[in-house]
Each structure stands twice: as structure tokens, then as C-alpha cells.
Amino acid sequence: MMEERATSGRGPSIWTRPERAARGPLPEHSRAEIAAAGITLADARGLGSVTMRSAAAAIGTAPASLYRYVATRDELVELMADQVYGELSYEPPTGQAAADLLRLAQRARALYHRHPWLLDVPATGNLPGPNAVAFIEHILAALAGVDLSGPAKLETVGLFSGAVRLVAETEIAQLRAGQDSTEWQNSLAGCLVRIAAAGQHPHLAAALTDQPADGGPGPPEPLLDRAMTRILTGLLPPSAAPPAAHP
């Protein structure tokens, strides 16, 4: 039986190999077609449902034939993830780095919600495909006028992407548990209040009782907007940071 997973460091990346050999018959299928079949399977039943056998069946070929296009299941998943990144749309940067990055974060969050299985794809360990590189390019375009060094901008890309992924993972976990953000926060608050009432966690008790005198600014912003505003405040220089948000 052919292996479904690649051995670490084995063979060149799929992104460095041509899609078809220079010689031989024209291929009957394409990487895009195979990736689309895998995405359909994963959207319906999760990433675990995607195997070389199931993907081959979805495009009407034998499992052995699929290895002419992808060497392992890991490569298939790489193709799927990158094709999903191709769904993102972009506008030219406005020169307002924080606003541009928040807009990119909102679109990436929506992508995770459309394809929750993307959270099961390792964030590191694979080389980025062309659509993932395009996402990186647009983050860097938003940072073009920001007073950060090249290495600091690349580090910001990683921190930004990781923060968006974490927020999306939290939201999707709540949805899978049958809770929305407000229900989850109320449930968590009730639990913490009971713990703090025992008197053994004074800092927790103080944080729970430290509420704005006016009851707050109104309906809270979405979790992503609140979290990313605070994160971008830390990542960007003061001149490019977003306006101070309500706590």
C-alpha cells in the first residue's frame, strides 16, 4: 500500500515541481481539479474524510492514478489549503495600516468559517503555495508605510496570521459546542464569579468587579475586531496603531 503521509524532508515541495512532466501523455486531470474535489469532501465531512482513495473516487479515477499528480496525502492537503486561500479578495492599501490589516483579518476569519477544516492543517512545516504568498504580499503591502524593518514586518505577518487563526478557532469551537460568543462569555463569567467568591483569587475577583461606571459603551464589537485592535496596537508603531478602543 502506498503511504498516505510524507516522511519529513522527503522529496522536493510540490510547489517546486512542474504540474506535468515535460514528456509523456497529456494529463487527464489537474492539481486544481484534485484540490477542488478534496475541498468538497473536507467541507462536507471534515479533513479526516480526505484520503488519496476518496479524492480519486471523487474525480473518477483510480487511487494509483492520483500519484501521478500528488506524491502523498500531505501534498493533496497543501493543494487544498492553497486553493482555499485563492478565495480571498483584495483592494489596494489605503495607507491606513491598522484599518487595512483589520479588513484582511475579517476576510481571513470568514475563510476559516467557510472551511473549518483549514484549522486542522498545520500552520507551519510546509512551504507556502502561490495563493498563500499572495496573502503574505497583501499584509506586507498594508505595512509598506509603517516604520518597521523588513524582518520585523515578516515577524508581524506571522503574529497577525496566528492571531486571526486563534480567534477563528475559538469562534468555531463555540459554534461546534452549540454556543454563540455571548452565551460562552456569560457561562465563563458565571463560573469565574463562583470561583472568585471563595476568596482565594483576589486578582480575579478584582477584575470581575472592575466594570465601567456607565455600564459600558453599548453592544460589544465582534471578538475579532476587539482582539485584533488590541493586538495591532502592540504590533504596530504608535504612528500606525489603531485608535484606542474601549476596554
CATH superfamily of 23-85: Homeodomain-like (1.10.10.60)
Alpha-carbon distance 62 to 71, whole Å? 14
Contacts of 216 (CB under 8 A, 6+ apart): 246
46: nearest Cα among 122, 108, 116: 116
pLDDT in tens, 154-184: 999 999 999 999 999 988 988 888 766 667 6
CA 62 to chain centre: 32
Percent of the chain whose predicted confidence (pLDDT) is above 70: 83
Q: Which three cell numbers stand for residue 197?
A: 467568591
Side-chain half-sphere exposure of 130, counting CA atoms within 13 A: 6
Residue 213 makes CB contacts below 8 A (sequence gap 6+) with none
Tell me the C-alpha distance between 166 and 15, whole Å: 27
**How many Cβ atoms are within 10 Å of 96's Cβ, its own excluded?**
14
Q: Which CATH number fits domain 97-235: 1.10.357.10, 1.10.510.10, 1.10.3720.10, 3.40.190.10?
A: 1.10.357.10
* Largest pairwise CA distance in the chain: 75
Query: Quick one: pLDDT at residue 97?
Result: 93
C-alpha span between 66 and 72 (Å, rounded): 9
User: How is the chain split into domains, by residue range?
Assistant: 23-85, 97-235
- pLDDT higher at 242 or 6: 242
Q: Give the range with max mean pLDDT: 27-36, 56-65, 112-121, 199-208.
A: 112-121
Banded model confidence at residue 221, pLDDT cuts 50, 70, 90: low
pLDDT range class, residue 42, cuts 50, 70, 90: very high
Confidence of residue 220 (pLDDT cuts 50, 70, 90): low
- Angle (CA) 71-72-73 rounded to 5° is 145
pLDDT in tens, 57-94: 999 999 888 888 899 999 999 999 999 999 999 999 99
Rounded distance, CA 124 to CA 158, Å?
Answer: 10
Cβ–Cβ < 8 Å for 100, 142: yes
State how far the Cα of 182 lies from the Cα of 187, in Å rounded to an integer: 9
pLDDT for residue 29 is more than 70: yes
Distance CA 235, CA 227 (A): 12
Is the model's pLDDT at 22 over the cut of 70? no
> Within 13 Å of residue 50, how many CA atoms lie on the same side as its CB?
29
| pLDDT, greater one: 219 or 223 | 223
Average predicted confidence (pLDDT) for the chain? 84
Q: Is the dihedral of CA 113, 114, 120, 126 positive or negative?
A: negative
